[in-house]
Structure formats: structure tokens, C-alpha cells
Amino acid sequence: MPETSNPPRSQPRPQDYVVVDGSDGPRRDFRISVGLREGWDAEGRVFDVSEAVRTARAWMRRRVEAGEPALSGMFTRAEVTYAWPRDDGSVGSDREPVALFTGEAVHAYLGHLSDAAFEAMLNGLAAELGAALGQERIYVAFADRTWILDAGDRG
């Protein structure tokens, strides 16, 4: 008996697109910025952004397996640049590689979550990324707020 296949679908046309029910709502975008150079020294190990991706995917899988919601988003590699005043009056400057995880709390999937629940998810993923990449500080932004997670005072 010959195999039957479904006929190929035609490409969507502009007039085929409609707003998905339940997907409209206020924008709640997020960003996690985590360094890729371990520690504070210029000679510290530099991780590839793929290590951040692996860490995030493992975190996402654990959450979904536990029946909990998870974030989804995009990783990009970037460089942060900064300057500071030195005690002698001169100015120092540096740069370092970072991984940026960005996305939105899409209402169709995560719209039922409170901001506090979403922030807890962001903090959980940020802490996992920081630990995996040897970072003391991770920078987080959500909607109209930003904060820094710091693991520097460990005793």
C-alpha cells in the first residue's frame, strides 16, 4: 500500500493573521545580564554563551517537569563597558563579555502570573546562571524595574 502524505500547506498571507485570544495585555519584558568572565580578574575564565544557554535550558526543563511555568527568551552575547575614578585622580575603564537573556511575559502563556511570581522566576534563573558562570552579581530588569542580585557576602 503506498504511503499517503498530507498536501503541502500554502504559505500564510498577510490577511490570514489575527490576534490570538488571551494574548493581549500590558507589556512585561525582562532582561537578565550575567557576566561571562569568571570572577573580577581580567585573567578569569571566559565562558561561551552556550554555557548560559545550557544552564537556562536545564532550569526550564526542571520547572516544566515539576508542572511549573518557565521563562522563554533569547540569549545574545554582548560586552559591557564601564569607567570609574581611581584614588589618584585618574580614570580606569574596562569591558567584559556578558550574556543577555531577554524576553517577555507573553500573556497567552504567562499572563496569569503576578509580577511577584514572575520576579521570583527571574531571580531563580539569574541565580542559577550566576552560580554556573562564577558571577557574584547578576543584573535583572522586569517591566519598569531593575535590581542587582549579589552573592558577594558569603562569609
Q: Give residue-wise pLDDT tens across range 13-53.
A: 999 999 998 888 888 999 999 999 987 777 889 999 999 99
Cell 563579555 belongs to 97
CA 31 from chain centre, in angstroms, equals 5
* CA-based nearest residue to 31, from 151, 155, 145: 145
Q: Give residue-wise pLDDT tens across range 50-77.
A: 999 999 999 999 999 999 999 999 999 9
Q: pLDDT value at position 109?
A: 84
Any idea what DSSP says for residue 11? P
Q: Is 20 within the bounds of a domain?
A: no
Q: Residue 127 is which amino acid?
A: A
Q: pLDDT value at position 9?
A: 82
Q: 95, 81 in Cβ contact below 8 A?
A: yes
Number of structural domains, the chain?
1
Q: Is 45 within the bounds of a domain?
A: yes
Q: Is 60 within the bounds of a domain?
A: yes
Q: Is 5 within the bounds of a domain?
A: no
Q: Is 91 within the bounds of a domain?
A: yes
Q: Alpha helices, DSSP H only, in the chain? A: 49-65, 107-110, 115-132
Q: Is 102 within the bounds of a domain?
A: yes
CA 40 from chain centre, in angstroms, equals 22
Print the domain residue range for 67.
Answer: 25-147
Q: Alpha helices, DSSP H only, in 71-144? A: 107-110, 115-132
CATH of the domain at 82: 3.30.70
